[in-house]
Amino acid sequence: MTLTLTMSDDVRALAPGFTHVAIEAHGLVNGPSSEASSELLDDAARRLAVRLDGRAPHEDPHMAAWRATYTAFGSKPSRTRNSAEALAKRALSDAGLPRVNRLVDLYNAVSVAHLIPVGGEDLDRIEGGMRLIRATGEEDFVTVTGGEETVEHPDAGEVVWRDDAGVTCRRWNWRQGPRTRLTEGTTSGIFLLESLAPMPVAEVAAAAAELAEQLVRFSPGADIAVRAPESSA
C-alpha cells in the first residue's frame, strides 16, 4: 500500500515555501516507552538547547515562519502553537518531554532535535488518501474531551489534514485526532515531516533520514520507505 498525499492549490498559495517528507513504514513493532526511547528524547532536548543557544523556541527563524503562516490562516500562534514549538517548550521546561510509546517517542525526538513539526498516523486507520486543505468549517474532527468522544469542526479557512472520514489533524500540525494516532498495536504508519522556508530542504531530508534510521533500529526487519521531499512551490 502506498498512501496518497495531496495538497490543495489554496494551501500552496498560502505557504509557497512549504516542504514535506513522508516516511511509509510497514512491519513496525511498537510498545510502551523504553529506556532507549527515553534516552533519545533526553538527547533531543540537549540538542535543542544547543540549537537555540539561549533563545526561546518562537525566536528560531523556522518557528517564526510557522507562526506567520498560522496567523495567515486566522490562527493565533501564541495560543495554538505548531507541534514542534509546543514540544520544544516542554523539552526546555522542568516537566520535560512526555513519554507516550516507542514510535511516538522516536518522531518526537526528531521533531525536537531539528525543530520540525513531525506527525505519525496509523495507516490501518486512515480511510482513503490524506489531503492538506483549507477547511470549509463543516468537516468533522473527532476528539476526546473530558474522557468523552466529541465532534468538533475546524474554523472556515483553517488548514487541516483530512482523509475520507474526516479531519485527522487541526491547524495544520497543532492537534492530532485520536482516530488515527499511533498506538502500541500499530504495525504500519506514515510519518510526515513538515518545513517552511527559510529551513533548507536538505535539513528536513536529513531529519527524515534520522527518523528512518531509528525506525529500523527499533523495528528490525520493517519495510521503511522515505519519499522524496515535496514542495508547494
Confidence of residue 144 (pLDDT cuts 50, 70, 90): confident
Residue 1 has a pLDDT of 59
Q: What is the pLDDT of residues 33-52, one digit of tens each?
A: 999 999 999 999 999 999 99
DSSP 169: E
Contacts of 7 (CB under 8 A, 6+ apart): 18, 131, 132, 230, 232
| b/e per residue 60-97 (b: at least 16 CB within 10 A) | bebbbbbbebbeebebebeeebbbbbbbbebbbeeeeb
Confidence of residue 133 (pLDDT cuts 50, 70, 90): very high
Q: What is the pLDDT of residues 12-29, one digit of tens each?
A: 999 999 999 999 999 999
Residue 89 has pLDDT above 70, yes or no: yes
DSSP characters over 105-164? HHHHHHHHHHT--EEEEEGGG--S-EEEEE--S---EEEEETTEEEEE-PPTT-EEEEET
Residue for grid cell 513496525: 28
Q: What is the pLDDT of residues 167-185, one digit of tens each?
A: 999 999 999 999 999 999 9
Burial label, 35 (beta-carbon count in 10 A; 0-12, 13-18, 19+): exposed
pTM of the model: 0.96
Residue 149 has a pLDDT of 87
DSSP 203: H
Share the mean pLDDT of the chain: 96
- Among the residues of the chain, which ranges form H helices? 9-14, 35-52, 61-72, 83-92, 102-114, 201-218
The alpha carbon of residue 91 and the mean position of all alpha carbons in its chain are separated, in whole angstroms, by: 16
In whole angstroms, give the CA distance from residue 107 to residue 111: 6
Provide mean pLDDT across the span 42-67: 97
Provide mean pLDDT across the span 119-148: 95
Residue 146 has pLDDT above 90, yes or no: no
In whole angstroms, give the CA distance from residue 175 to residue 177: 7
Residue 159 has pLDDT above 80, yes or no: yes
Confidence of residue 148 (pLDDT cuts 50, 70, 90): confident
